[in-house]
């Protein structure tokens, strides 16, 4: 096990309130994943496998160890297992751990190649006990811990020399991100019976905005004698990405708390200074996550 990184230096906050954990109830991620699993089918599993091979630029994960940090539904642990990896999954949310175990048992995966634990990204002892891995995968989790930079430091300590660290972190949109903090706080403060109404309102606004942009792009292509269907096809393709479900992703987005954000260069510099080289970067449009694939120095 490579030695943990102690007392990580953090990027300076533009606004301390943006990264300050609030006394607000944490979002029930596991309950949302339970509902998602009822929609899981072979097509979604194949989409998850395809997105993982594309992200990692590999055909399989045979003879590699894979840590799914914040496993949620367990879908990407399953994808890694189907690609041949020795998988370790964990989540701090007991319902998410139950989802991952349910997925493992219902799809006939053995515990020999897939270990599942309950634990926190912020627990230094737990993280150090896991060992080190060829691939550490943490998609959209570190920014929900309430202490994102400590979570990233602990993840970095689990990567073998020459191994990969995959991160997806919410893009910092400055004042827009602050506005979303307000939406998320409102979601947590609403009675549970009214929370779906807020999600529907956000969905309607987002759909209307995207529809207007797509139609405008199609019209522009039409008058310039280009294929007007391209923007529509691109929208459809985006909705199928990663094998996820639009509704449950949206619930996760609207309600997801704690909530932190970072600019791409902040994540890059933070890990560069800890011996990692950026291999791939996909930046987000709007509210999404910036995706990073880092390689740990073998020195």
The tens digit of pLDDT for each residue in 244-262 reads 667 777 888 888 889 999 9
- Whether the pLDDT of residue 3 is over 80: the answer is no
This prediction's pTM: 0.82
pLDDT, greater one: 86 or 254: 86
pLDDT tens digits, one per residue of 114-131 = 999 999 999 999 999 999
For the residues 260-277, what does the mean pLDDT come to?
Answer: 97
Cα–Cα distance between 149 and 154 in angstroms, integer? 9
Cβ-in-10-Å burial (0-12, 13-18, 19+) of 63 comes to exposed
- Determine the pLDDT at residue 134: 98
Count how many residues are written for the chain. 299
The second-level CATH assignment, the architecture, of 25-174+258-296 is 3-Layer(aba) Sandwich (3.40)
Task: Please report which confidence band the pLDDT of residue 111 belongs to, taking 50, 70 and 90 as the band edges.
Answer: confident
Are 137 and 108 in contact by the 8 Å Cβ rule? The answer is no
Cα distances (Å, whole numbers) of residue 100 to 78, 85, 116, 163: 9, 16, 8, 24
- Bridging pattern class, strands 276-282 and 289-296: antiparallel
Q: Domain residues of the chain, as ranges?
A: 25-174+258-296, 188-253
Specify the range with the lowest mean pLDDT, choosing from 35-49, 57-71, 156-170. 35-49
- Determine the pLDDT at residue 299: 64
- Whether the pLDDT of residue 182 is over 90: the answer is yes
The residue among 136, 148, 189 whose CA lies nearest residue 23 is: 189
- Determine the pLDDT at residue 242: 59
Are 218 and 228 in contact by the 8 Å Cβ rule? The answer is yes
Beta strands in the chain (DSSP E): 65-69, 86-91, 114-118, 133-139, 159-170, 276-282, 289-296
Cα–Cα distance between 139 and 131 in angstroms, integer? 19
pLDDT tens digits, one per residue of 222-234 = 888 888 888 888 8
Specify the range with the lowest mean pLDDT, choosing from 33-47, 76-90, 116-130, 159-173. 33-47
- Whether the pLDDT of residue 294 is over 90: the answer is yes
């Amino acid at each position: 096990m490579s030695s943990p990184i102690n007392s990580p230096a953090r990027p300076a906050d533009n606004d301390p309130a943006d990264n300050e954990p609030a006394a607000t109830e944490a979002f029930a991620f596991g309950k949302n994943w339970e509902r998602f699993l009822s929609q899981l089918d072979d097509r979604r599993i194949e989409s998850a496998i395809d997105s993982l091979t594309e992200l990692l630029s590999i055909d399989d994960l045979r003879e590699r160890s894979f840590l799914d940090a914040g496993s949620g539904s367990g879908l990407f642990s399953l994808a890694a297992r189907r690609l041949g990896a020795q998988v370790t999954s964990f989540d701090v949310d007991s319902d998410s751990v139950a989802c991952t175990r349910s997925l493992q048992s219902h799809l006939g995966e053995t515990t020999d190649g897939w270990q599942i634990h309950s634990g926190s990204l912020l627990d230094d002892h737990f993280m150090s006990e896991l060992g080190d891995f060829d691939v550490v995968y943490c998609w959209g989790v570190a920014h929900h811990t309430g202490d994102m930079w400590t979570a990233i430091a602990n993840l970095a300590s689990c990567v073998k020399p020459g191994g990969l660290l995959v991160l997806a972190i919410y893009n910092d949109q400055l004042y827009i991100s602050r506005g979303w903090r307000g939406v998320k706080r409102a979601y947590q403060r609403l009675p549970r019976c009214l929370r779906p109404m807020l999600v529907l309102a956000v969905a309607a606004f987002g759909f209307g905005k995207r529809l207007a942009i797509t139609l405008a792009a199609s019209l522009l292509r039409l008058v310039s004698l280009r294929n007007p269907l391209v923007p529509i096809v691109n929208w459809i393709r985006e909705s199928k990405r990663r094998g996820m479900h639009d509704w449950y992703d949206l619930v996760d987005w609207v309600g997801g708390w704690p909530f932190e954000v970072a600019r791409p260069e902040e994540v890059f510099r933070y890990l560069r200074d800890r011996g990692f080289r950026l291999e791939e970067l996909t930046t987000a449009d709007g509210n999404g996550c910036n995706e990073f694939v880092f390689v740990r120095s073998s020195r």
